[in-house]
Structure formats: C-alpha cells, structure tokens
Amino acid sequence: MATMDDRYQAARDFLDQVYPSPPQPHKDKPWITLTYAQSLDGMIAKHGQQLLLSGPESMAMTHRLRLLHDAILVGISTVLVDNPQLNARHAPAADIETYGQPQPIVLDTRLDMPLDCKLITNYRTGVSNKQPWVVTSKAADASKLQALEKAGAHVIQMEDEGRPDFGKVFKVLRQQYKIERVMVEGGARVIQSCQPYADEIIETTAPVTVGSEGLPASRDQTQQLVNIHQCQFGNDKVFAAQCLR
C-alpha cells in the first residue's frame, strides 16, 4: 500500500509535467485553474449534500496543486455543505514552508457565510494564518458584512448589485490584491461560470456513479485543449489540459 510520502511524490511528478514552470498571470486576471472531482456520470456534487469522490492518491495531488496557487476560490454553497478548510494540510511541512498556504476566497453574494465555519474559526484561533476573503455584491446586507469582518473575515465588496461578475472579480484580485494564480474548486455553478476565464482544467474522475441526484460540472466540450496529460491515481483518473485562447 502506498504511503502518504509515495502519494505526494506521485502528485509532484505529475504536476511537474503539467506545470513545468510557474503559470504566468495575465495583465487583467490571474492564471485560472478549474479543478474538480466528478463521478463516471459527470456529477461533482449532490443537492445540498456533501459528496466525497477523490481517493487518497488524487487528494494528495489536489493538496500539492493548492500549493502551486496563490488562492483557492469557492462559492458559498461549498462552504455551507462541505465546511472546507481550503488549505494544503496534507502536503509535507517543508513544501508548505516553501510555498505558503493559499489564500481562501469565497464568493458569497448574500453573505450567508456562517460565523463559526472552519475558514473563520481556523483564522480566529490561530490554526491558520490566512484570513478568509469574502467577495460579495454592492447590495450586501451591511449588518452581515460588519458581523463577518468582526468575526475575522475580509470582505471585498464589488460594484455589482447582484452576483458579482467573475471577470471583474478576477481583475480586482489581480490588480488590487496581486493574486497571480487562482485555483477554482467549485461548486458546480462557480465552475460553470468560470469556464470562459479558465487557463487550465484538472479533472479527476472517480469510478462511481451518482445518478439523478447529482449536479454536473458541465464542462464546455467545444473548448480546444492543448498540453494534455493523464495519470492514474489509485482508483481515480486525472486529466489535465490547458485551454487554448
């Protein structure tokens, strides 16, 4: 049976092929990597339920990938359902020290982020040194905004009245916050919305089916892909490719 060190080394070897050099940002947006795990029938989540698809081997790849990015972006639904930590805690300590943990970013139009979620409590209690950033709209409730900031989050309020436009969000992250590489982890709606901005897609397929209860990633099958790499990680198959622009 492969040890954690073996799994992480396999992840490093694969990603060294995918990213032979650090991905370079654009002038108006960071380098965007869309990454998700899906079932054989193309589902990445269930309605309102946590769905764990990645095995330990592909999970090691995900945590290595996180270290190669400045930030991880998810939607509020991922926080509400999965309560994630959005860090690379399974990576070796030496690599974490070299790269630093990624910046967690949550898109939350209505500011529904729980004040006791792991992203906030980890920062407030010193488990993490990364203050979670919350991207919201101009019309966000002022009392919720103040409560989140008091709890420990940094709120980025966009000019949009409704759901912030991802093109504008990425521009702000690149130009105002100097974020060069963003890893988008979901959920389904966020992945679909970010496809026009993607530079890289890394897709893990687990040997299970979910059925009609699932939510699909719905990747754009017409997108021309180059620099394609595939690798078997345990029972999971990982596909990586750059999006031709």
| pLDDT for residue 1 | 58
| HEC letters along 25-47 | CCCCCCEEEEEEEECCCCEEEEC
Q: Taking CA 236 as the corner, what is the angle to CA 39 and CA 223, rounded to the nearest 5 degrees? A: 65
Residue range 194-215: mean pLDDT, rounded = 90
Confirm whether 173 is domain-assigned: yes
Confirm whether 199 is domain-assigned: yes
Give the pLDDT band (50/70/90) at residue 60: very high
Confirm whether 206 is domain-assigned: yes
Most confident of 183-192, 202-211, 235-244: 235-244
Residue 145 has pLDDT above 90, yes or no: yes
DSSP code per residue over 53-94? ---HHHHHHHHHHHHTSSEEEEEHHHHHHH----S-TTS-HH
Confirm whether 5 is domain-assigned: no
Which CATH number covers residue 98? 3.40.430.10
| pLDDT for residue 184 | 97
Confirm whether 45 is domain-assigned: yes
Confirm whether 167 is domain-assigned: yes
- Whole-prediction pTM: 0.94
- Count CA within 13 A, CB hemisphere, residue 201: 26
The rounded distance, in Å, linking the Cα atoms of 75 and 164 is 11
- State what percent of residues in the chain have pLDDT above 70: 98
Residue 97 has pLDDT above 70, yes or no: yes
The rounded distance, in Å, linking the Cα atoms of 87 and 111 is 22
Closest CA to 137 of 112, 116, 119: 112
Contact (Cβ atoms closer than 8 angstroms) between residue 208 and residue 173: no
Confirm whether 234 is domain-assigned: no
Question: Which residue has better confidence, 188 or 184?
Answer: 184
Confirm whether 243 is domain-assigned: no
Tokens of 45: 């989540």
Domains of the chain: total: 1
The rounded distance, in Å, linking the Cα atoms of 87 and 122 is 11
Residue 242 has pLDDT above 80, yes or no: yes
- Which domain does 176 fall in, by range? 30-216
The rounded distance, in Å, linking the Cα atoms of 113 and 115 is 6
Report H helices in the chain: 4-18, 56-67, 76-82, 93-99, 118-124, 142-151, 166-175, 188-194
